[in-house]
Amino acid sequence: MNAAALDFNALFDPDFLSALSRLSLSARRVAGGGRHGERLSKDLGSGVEFKDYRPYSPGDDLRAIDWNIYRRLGKLSLRLFEEQQDLPIYLMPDLSSSMFLESPPRIVAGLRATLAMAAIGLDHHDSAGLFPFSDQLQVVFKSKSGRASVMTFARHLAALVQDTQDNPRQTHLATAVQRLSHMKLRSGLLVIVSDFFDPEGLEALRVAMRAVRHRLLLIQLTKKSDADPALQGDVRLRDCETNEVTDLTLTPDVIARYREAYKSFNEELVSLAKRRRGAVLQLDVDQDLFEQLSTLFQSGSLQV
């Protein structure tokens, strides 16, 4: 499907963005060194919630000394408070040619899911970076913050897809992840939005993930035909990214083997995420996106 033919007005749907404000990410402790936000940090410093005491050391801030303890025990002790900082969210939407193939193309749901995750984070004072990929990783920006950045995010997504027009691109997810792992990014949440159909397979992705220190959320874009293709008899299949052609005779036995392979693929994807203490969110691109997000977020909050 031609990128120019996509209706990008859906990205700017005010009702959709307003509804997202009811959803939130519930994060475990975030890495220190970031901006002030709503997440409890691993750092202990000058926050508002008391955590513990520790003995005074030369060079410590004298304002943190608890003088009541000094008067009672004659010991200098510091009051420690939990810092609250932002959660960096790094978004990797798939822009390979397979995302544009069907009607409706998966890219529409992919863009909306990417924008949704950015909006949810920005609405809760987190930061968001945009790293689209296909045959290589692009760095659009490493960090944006503030609720006003949501529309900036949407405009960048629309511009990115328009740039792919008449420019076929293959999927090299493992290579993209490997490049991201080499960047000096503060530890955060890595969100990959894709169908995860990569000729290198999930094993290559698993190996690339070894060097990634971010938490992991995989948003898998699916269609019912992925698990149960409506094909039979003699068919010629053409790879939309490489143009390679394969002739097949689809007997019931072949279809059964395909279904088993697709089931194993999904199980392996979930296993990969769980090994990284992450999760897989499976979205049907033919169904209402917000309704699915609401179900996945259950009580309104998704813990990562």
pLDDT tens for each residue of 247-296: 999 999 999 999 999 999 999 999 999 988 888 999 999 998 888 887 76
Sign of CA dihedral 145, 150, 152, 154: positive
Residue 57, both tokens: 């050391």
List, for residues 74-108, the tens digit of each pLDDT value.
Answer: 888 877 765 555 789 999 999 998 898 888 899 98
CATH ID of 3-27+87-220+280-303, from 2.60.40, 3.40.50, 3.40.1000, 3.30.70: 3.40.50
**Among residues of the chain, what percentage have pLDDT more than 70?**
80
Dist CA 250 CA 239 (whole Å): 17
Query: Is pLDDT at 206 greater than 90 in this prediction?
Result: yes
What per-residue confidence (pLDDT) applies to 3? 44
Residue 78, both tokens: 């510091």
Evaluate the omega torsion of the peptide bond into residue 104 and state whether it is cis, within 30 degrees of 0.
yes
Break the chain into its structural domains and give their ranges: 3-27+87-220+280-303, 36-85
Q: Is the pTM of this model over 0.75?
A: yes
Query: Is pLDDT at 51 greater than 80 in this prediction?
Result: no
